[in-house]
A and B are shown apart, each in its own frame.
Chain A
């Protein structure tokens, strides 16, 4: 470390230069924050000037006219339900494939590994077709069940469709959930399998001697040891799903009540296009992520680097 220490007493010119470079690098974000607090004419005049007093109309607009609060809640719920599915199914499968003497373990690992290479464009339209088929099938099942529940065909459509509409359920969100989980599985299984090889085998063996079955050994002994890995998965996929625009846009469609789809559909609408609103939108939707990032930068970066496999 001698090379690095001998210049320590000098004025940190190099550090200041790098800091300025960093500020220049994130300046688009800083511009967004500054300009979200200004009305449009002020942005047009000089986007670099600090805001002249607090102009909060754009933020008000987001929550009144654009009704962004609902989608924010929906996106959060989507993050939670997808992550819950991922942090249970993926480690179970990884455990079964790596730690138990399963004949097909090796084959299954390769099978899941192949999933890391499949780009979304390839599966996009066949997947839509698949979901459409499943949706139609479940409607026809509902058609038979609904009359028993006292729901009959209305102007909405068949009895099953009416039942769905009345209960406010929307199949496409379920489809999106299924897609997010299966999309996340290969990477999660890969992360968990890698981590599992660091856990000593004795722990399970003693559990087996105590008469624990494999499933309960997993939940009682292995799952609690996987916490660091689970945190990685939560950070990586939480951020990914919150930020996702493309897959939700394609699977649920432009009406999807999820944050970035809403931001896209309403901000690209020519009639409401206003840079001040756009900036306020980007600031509000990036805020939760930014706060978490500032609070636990190291964990965050580590979690996101898991994507190096994807």
Chain B
């Protein structure tokens, strides 16, 4: 016969295990089955010539990665993605900071004005894309009609698909819809600055500029870190916005890495190669984001 205390302990452990299974089971099963498994499958497919629809992908070793090294289209997608990422990171880190400092100064209509700047963030990507496509349209768009009204017809063009404007069109769209999010993160941080710091600065005779550089900016450093990392991720993962606007045009000018993966995997049945592209870029993104976060954090401590 078992010792009663030991039986009791074993029974408790068993019940504890069952409870964990009931509590954790559904989440773990769904997440492991439909996020982790496809990610691992993708990694496996990067060594094959899988088309996406056949049943038996052939193993090709490192051929996909070798092809990637010489792929000019991949290189131009990387260049465009980095261009957008730099613009967006600068915009979402600095422009939104100045806007937040201004919005923080409001004494009346606070909620209204902040609400306006946040509003585009709650719209679907498709809605903001359609609005911007309208503004940028060559024959019927608001920008060109406005230009015509002030007799600057010469400047009128297809703002979305003209070679020199397409990158800025994509930037404007993403910047417009994301602005509220990044500004709000700064606003939340500004609320945490103790008022006696402002008072001390005032007693020392600091003007608004000095208050910004000596009080607000140093106190905002944690959010500068967060925002720049989030902006970087936003830039590198730029993809649905391209599907609903330029679709990579003009030529292959506005192909982002994400759109290139979609182009290869979904539109052109080259899933094996697409998987190789996604893994190379994903690894690079994780590395860059980690380095950026740790560098900024170290700097933050130093200040």
**Interface residue ranges, A against B (CB under 8 Å):** 1-4, 8, 12, 14-15, 18-19, 22-23, 25-26, 28-29, 31-32, 43-44, 46-48, 89-90, 92-93, 95-97, 100-102, 108, 111-112, 114-115, 117-130, 178-179, 181-183, 185-186, 189, 213-215, 218, 239, 242-246, 250, 260, 263-264, 267, 275, 278-279, 281-282, 285-286, 289-290, 293-294, 297-298, 300-301, 304-305, 307-308
B16 and A126 contact, CB distance less than 8 A? no
Determine, out of B61-69, B86-94, B117-125, B155-163, the stretch whose residues face the partner at the interface. B117-125
Q: A126-B42, A182-B30 are in contact. Are A92 and B107 (CB under 8 A)?
A: no
A282 and B278 contact, CB distance less than 8 A? no
Distance in angstroms between the alpha carbons of A12 and B113 in the assembled complex: 13
B115 and A125 contact, CB distance less than 8 A? no
* Chain B residue, CB-CB nearest to A179: B34
B24 and A1 contact, CB distance less than 8 A? no
Distance in angstroms between the alpha carbons of A69 and B176 in the assembled complex: 29
- Give min CB distance, B90 to chain A, whole Å: 19
B198 and A215 contact, CB distance less than 8 A? no
In B17-67, the 8 Å CB interface with A consists of 19-20, 22-24, 26-28, 30-31, 33-39, 41-42, 45, 52
Interface of chain A: mostly helix, strand, loop or mixed: helix
A12 and B107 contact, CB distance less than 8 A? yes
B174 part of interface (Cβ distance < 8 Å): no
Question: A250 to chain B: which residues have CB within 8 Å?
Answer: 266
Question: B20 to chain A: which residues have CB within 8 Å?
Answer: 96, 100, 102, 214
B266 and A297 contact, CB distance less than 8 A? no
B140 part of interface (Cβ distance < 8 Å): yes
Q: A32-B131, A121-B261 are in contact. Are A246 and B124 (CB under 8 A)?
A: no
A15 and B122 contact, CB distance less than 8 A? no
* Chain A residue, CB-CB nearest to B26: A89
**Contact-size category for B:** 35 or more
Within the complex, which residue of A95, A242, A245, A304 is in contact with B23, where a contact is CB–CB below 8 Å? A95
A245 and B125 contact, CB distance less than 8 A? yes
Distance in angstroms between the alpha carbons of A254 and B206 in the assembled complex: 59
B123 and A286 contact, CB distance less than 8 A? yes
B190 part of interface (Cβ distance < 8 Å): no
User: Most chain-A Cβ atoms within 10 A of its Cβ — which of B109, B118, B126?
Assistant: B126
Distance in angstroms between the alpha carbons of A197 and B109 in the assembled complex: 36
Question: B106 to chain A: which residues have CB within 8 Å?
Answer: 14-15, 18
B131 and A100 contact, CB distance less than 8 A? no
* Chain A residue, CB-CB nearest to B32: A111
In B162-180, the 8 Å CB interface with A consists of 176, 179
Within the complex, which residue of A47, A124, A244 is in contact with B265, where a contact is CB–CB below 8 Å? A124
A25 and B282 contact, CB distance less than 8 A? no
In B214-239, the 8 Å CB interface with A consists of 226, 230, 237, 239
Within the complex, which residue of A22, A123, A308 is in contact with B38, where a contact is CB–CB below 8 Å? A123
B258 and A213 contact, CB distance less than 8 A? no
User: Most chain-A Cβ atoms within 10 A of its Cβ — which of B27, B102, B107?
Assistant: B27
Within the complex, which residue of A3, A19, A93 is in contact with B28, where a contact is CB–CB below 8 Å? A93
Determine, out of B1-9, B181-189, B293-301, the stretch whose residues face the partner at the interface. B181-189
